[in-house]
Structure 1
């Protein structure tokens, strides 16, 4: 078995998928091997802090036409994580034609809310201003995140203050993909959230669900039916809040049998057999049209292949009917009604 020196984040992911990898006869180290970055760049600085660095993955043989961009934010309880650990995400998306950016950001306990979100905004501004050098289209930037990273990406997308502070319009984000993210987790009653958010002046303004808005870009929320770390209700409730606010394109999929890490690890080459997460994400990204563009071009919203979109309903009746529909589509036992026990 090959050896490697694992980071904390690597060990977290490795413990989660080790049984699966053992069944395949390969090591967790091999599954998380750093990407090649053949035509991209590693450790590109977007700020002065040592953790304000990003890796950029570029499709091989990309040609002259600018490619859409995915800005991916990894999780780790806002306290752990390294961009190198998630190179499999860069490999998977760049192989499908997306210039992919994975950035480190400052972590707890060095910083607390909202600094890790502000780092994301700073990185995104750098991407917008420089991604053309790597063949990316600055007008076609999609956000995507897993777990705590999905929280960061969703706050960047829904709370307009963060992007406005760095000169980016909210409408400049083409779409947002949230994988197993915590979006509605008050009160802060576990160590993870106390450490990251305990000093927030207004806890209500830390929750993505409270920024659901009509002009949100297309949203794809994915979670696993067996996620006991960030319960599926987080995605379900955000989907309903967005639809109630009048958002035009909201899709939710609950992957049967997947746990918390599964929505991310299923993107990797070795574990794509677990669930069609990569195919669904790619289809969503390729068919997403921002509401502003939908109005201008009079194009009806499109949803990802094999993804159940929420119906075009509004108000309390909409919430009731949509919730019922979500439960029926999710399948028996897949909607967990309980408290958020951890965020990673």
Structure 2
């Protein structure tokens, strides 16, 4: 992920205002906070959860996401969580719930408004974000009472039982109630609004997963917006949140516009999602982005058929 985190590839006017703050004991229980450099009134908060098949990932790899959200006026929190094989389901979820408790108790000190909380995630992180929203037991365990105003989930798996692939078996195979691990089985009318986006050519989590989940949400009366990015694969939607690849698809402003609809900026105007023009020339150090993304996509096993 290094090419996307070089200074020239990230949004200016943003700051990392917390670096490696512990939300619990242990090396995987740390988080970073990003915010606009110019801050006035308390800002809405996005808690972003990265993916990696529940077995890889690091918050430092996603600073381009933190700065992207900060460039749109949010305070963004990116927390590490324990990974397989050190832990199995549900420990990676309880870690994120624990980090949310830190947000509840501390984010006001960094310019964030805990009453305007939004969850977001990519891939396995999209699963984690959706599960935190749908199953209140994880939040209740840590006394998290902040309302979740909306969720944005990119390239996420929501209905992948039975567990057919090794990566998923490792993470979920020991769950005593496998059906209870599936977001599609946990939907109620009280679920927060959800923005679900995916590439139409995703070989890791096929777009039908998003379609089926969205249909079940709508059947329960939950507000859901779907976005299908034609011809893109698994990693491209999250990469396109960053400044360097944003011209490929307007995923960042699609997400921000959705959050705006549900109270991110009560006194502001809705965002118009427009992908910028392609840059005339990328810096030599970040030019081979297609090759990098192909390698990233090749790292993952399929999660569901």
| TM-score past 0.5 threshold | yes
Shift of 1:279: 1.1
Flag the 1:112–1:150 CA change in 2: closer, same or farther, 3 A. same
Q: Distance in 2 between matches of 1:49 and 1:118?
A: 14
Relative distance call for 1:140 and 1:196 in structure 2 (3 A) is same
1: CA distance between counterparts of 2:273 and 2:248? 15
User: Which residues in structure 2 correspond to 1:1-344 (within 5 Å)?
Assistant: 10=1, 29-33=2-6, 38=15, 40-63=17-40, 65-169=41-145, 172-247=147-222, 249-289=223-263, 341-342=302-303
- In structure 2, how many angstroms separate the alpha carbons of the residues matched to 1:86 and 1:49? 20
Q: Report the CA distance between 1:33 and its aligned residue.
A: 2.8
- Which one has a larger percent helix, Structure 1 or Structure 2? 1
CA–CA distance in 1 between the matches of 2:254 and 2:236? 14
Shift of 1:115: 0.1
CA-to-aligned-CA distance 1:64-106 (integer Å, 9 cap, x gap)? x100000000000000000000000001000110000000000
| Shift of residue 258, structure 1, vs aligned partner | 1.3
Ranges in structure 1 where 5+ consecutive residues have no aligned partner = 1-9, 11-28, 291-302, 308-339
Q: Give, in whole Å, the separation in 1 of the partners of 2:46 and 2:129.
A: 11
Q: C-alpha displacement at 1:121, in angstroms?
A: 0.3
- How large is the Cα RMSD of the aligned pairs? 2.0
Query: How far off is 1:341 after superposition?
Result: 2.5
Q: Matched residues in 2 for 1:305 and 1:260: separation?
A: 24
- Normalised TM-score (structure 1): 0.75
Residue equivalent to 2:278: none
The question of whether the paired residues in 2 share the 8 Å contact of 1:39 and 1:60 is answered with: no
Query: What is the distance in 1 between the residues matched to 2:65 and 2:273?
Result: 21
Change (3 A) 1:242 1:304: farther
Higher relative contact order (CA 8 A, sep 6+): 2
In 2, Cα distance between the equivalents of 1:304 and 1:198?
42
1:155 CA drift (Å): 0.4
Q: Which runs of 5+ in 2 are unaligned?
A: 265-269, 275-300
For each residue in 1:162-194, what CA deviation from the matched residue of structure 2 results, as whole angstroms up to 9, or x when unmatched? Answer: 11111124x711110000000000111110111
